Structure 1
């Protein structure tokens, strides 16, 4: 099954305006991400999806592939769906965050494989939570899944709740997983979920994947032991620069 990697990239960001064009040791952040993803053996092609002319021109300047998309999209999923409509030859689509320049090839493979094997309609990643601060941080999304690795629920709250155990002992049970926002979709599923109406669960938690579960789509959760180093703020960019120098 041919697999397309799409990197949604917006210029307007509340915490870090212009982030895709920020310099990361001689190359822009979006160029770092593009070159990393383009070299992944699991992908047959890669392109950036943006609604900003500055990003569009910049990607072309370093030889990357890029498509302009509507400025009305509310999510990267919507942007991926718009592009996917124009590329029917690709049966699997990966939505790669444009602020993760150190994504491992193995992680891309882990998301693409369940879709190629027919195990689910959507796939994503999770890793065990190892830090107590993350366990109770609402900015760290948690996921629970069944024996077939299909997601049962995503939440900003700590799930599962360990009734009868002091919270100080929860981490040691090894049953909490952090969701990592790398998504893969069957193209047919992607085109189905993009226009779905907002679900209450999604509105309550501000997590779009709950819309998919609400409407009966299966989400395969593959595990990884490698943390993804994202660039959400200017402070994160400095950390990424240091990481590249080591």
Structure 2
């Protein structure tokens, strides 16, 4: 199976313009993400999808591959759909360009899980989150059903503890997705639901349309 890792990287950001080029220990953030993606042994190709020549030039300067994409895409997944038209693959792994600490071994597990179970059309990652960080809107939370499929993603603390004696755990969503090409072919035609617009979370478009995310 042909696996391609795509790193969407917008230059414009309302909170931190130029974030992909932010210096971290002497390297731009996008280079850290790219190098970690290249360490994933089961992927055949890594490409950065950007809307700005400054990002593309930076990626090429350290030997990476970059594709220019439409600046009007509303999400990284919309950008990935455009890449799919230029770079064919069976499975696309979307790593957000602001995830410099993403672990290659976690991406390997995501790919392996989707390779052994072809009923999983969309996969992602999560890990436990300290209760004290549950109210941080920049830490996206997810709740799962008994099969490990996502019930909902939110910037709010979910589940919300009505009582003070809640002893359960919170799960933080990691900005990595695995998509089969058949899902991406449909994604571009899905309308943005109110949930996605409110939370600014692109994966809610798929949940709203009835897709299963594991």
Alignment partner of 1:37 is 2:37: yes
Indicate the SS of the match to 2:136: coil
> Against the structure 1 CA distance between its residues 202 and 22, is the aligned structure 2 distance closer, same or farther, given a 3 Å change threshold?
closer
User: 1:106 offset after TM fit, Å?
Assistant: 1.4
- Residue correspondences, number: 213
Structure 1: unaligned runs, 5 residues or longer: 221-246
Alignment TM-score, normalising by the size of structure 1: 0.80
Counterparts of 1:128 and 1:57, CA distance in 2: 37
Counterparts of 2:19 and 2:134, CA distance in 1: 28
Counterparts of 2:59 and 2:176, CA distance in 1: 21
- The question of whether the paired residues in 1 share the 8 Å contact of 2:69 and 2:82 is answered with yes
> Against the structure 1 CA distance between its residues 158 and 217, is the aligned structure 2 distance closer, same or farther, given a 3 Å change threshold?
same
State the match for 1:200 in structure 2: 194
Larger Rg: 1
Aligned alpha-carbon RMSD (Å): 1.7
Alignment partner of 1:7 is 2:4: no
Counterparts of 1:87 and 1:76, CA distance in 2: 16
Indicate the SS of the match to 2:195: helix
Structure 2: unaligned runs, 5 residues or longer: none
**Any idea what the Cα deviations from partners look like across 1:58-94, whole Å, max 9, x if unmatched?**
2122211111111111111011110112222x11101
User: 1:215 offset after TM fit, Å?
Assistant: 0.6
Indicate the SS of the match to 1:55: helix
Alignment TM-score, normalising by the size of structure 2: 0.91
- The question of whether the paired residues in 1 share the 8 Å contact of 2:99 and 2:175 is answered with no
State the match for 1:173 in structure 2: 168
Counterparts of 1:24 and 1:158, CA distance in 2: 30
**Any idea what the Cα deviations from partners look like across 1:102-153, whole Å, max 9, x if unmatched?**
22111111222232221411111111222x3222333322211112211111
Counterparts of 1:162 and 1:30, CA distance in 2: 37
Alignment partner of 1:20 is 2:20: yes
